Amino acid sequence: MTSPTLIFDLDGTLVDSAPDLIAAMNHTLTTEDIPTVDYTIARSWAGLGARGSVLKAASYHGLDANKLPLDAMFDTFLKHYLANISRLSQPFEGVIEALTQMRDMGWALGICTNKYQRYAEALLSDLALDGFFEVIIGADSTPWRKPDARHLTETINIMLQSADSTIFIGDSETDVATAKAANIPVIAVDFGYSLVSPDQLGADILVDHFDKIIPAANALLDQWQNSGV
């Protein structure tokens, strides 16, 4: 059986980074005397990044974002987040075991994330996950970012792999849209930060635990073989 290349999203897919992202957002809000947002409400905003989550919080509180010092707020968010990037964040259950097995099987592993490169590298290093991946491609690593298909296809090119044997794994509409635009099969996890129901994302396969990623990838490989790819 052909060995696949697996490329992963980061936040909400490999790592539950919402606690630190939402803490950074709430810290930023307090600097402007804006009420914080309860974690249970804001968790799904974690995939929106600094700008998106701050704007979402402003909208939640009925504030006019145009009247806020947004550039300063984004800077505050990023500084606080980098200083606390792995304070509460953890790999999702089963991630380390699955990545270890994939690596031992000789699968090529990479990351394509809309997180800035330095933040992605810092988080993965702190959690001792960086050694699993051949490349870590962030939002500022190429001229494109998801959902532009070229962010994903350039990741494949940098890995010196073929799109014909690549699978993308993510948790959001953006991830699924990126894979589909690149004509790459996509597995979605249902425990991330999707703003819509995961079963509505349109992924080729939806999984509820990381121990199902390898069987899902093998199922897609079987489809390729049966189709003569």
Tell me the per-residue pLDDT of 113-140, one tens digit each, with 9 for 90 and over. 999 999 999 999 999 999 999 999 999 9
Residues 163-221 pLDDT 10s: 999 999 999 999 999 999 999 999 999 999 999 999 999 999 999 999 999 999 999 98
Comparing CA positions, the residue from 11, 112, 9, 111 lying closest to residue 53 is: 11
Same-domain pairing of 10 and 120: yes
Which DSSP letter does residue 171 get?
S
Task: Name residue 136's beta-bridge partners.
Answer: 111
Q: 41 and 11 in one domain? A: no
In sequence order, the β-bridge partners of residue 11 are 15
Give the domain-ending residue among 48, 83, 118.
83
Q: Which pLDDT score is estimated for 59?
A: 97
CATH of the domain at 157: 3.40.50.1000
Q: For 77-87, what is each residue's pLDDT tens digit?
A: 999 999 999 99
Same domain membership, residue 103 and residue 64: no
- For helices 70-83 and 117-126, the axis angle rounded to 10 degrees is 20
173 and 190 in a single domain? The answer is yes
**pLDDT class of 24 with cuts at 50, 70, 90:** very high
Mean pLDDT of 63-68: 96
| Greatest Cα-to-Cα distance within the chain, rounded to the nearest angstrom | 61
Residue 9 among the catalytic residues: yes
Residues 23 and 108 in one domain: no
Mark whether 110 and 57 lie in a shared domain: no
Domain identity same for 62 and 116: no
Domain that holds residue 79: 18-83
User: How many structural domains is the chain composed of?
Assistant: 2
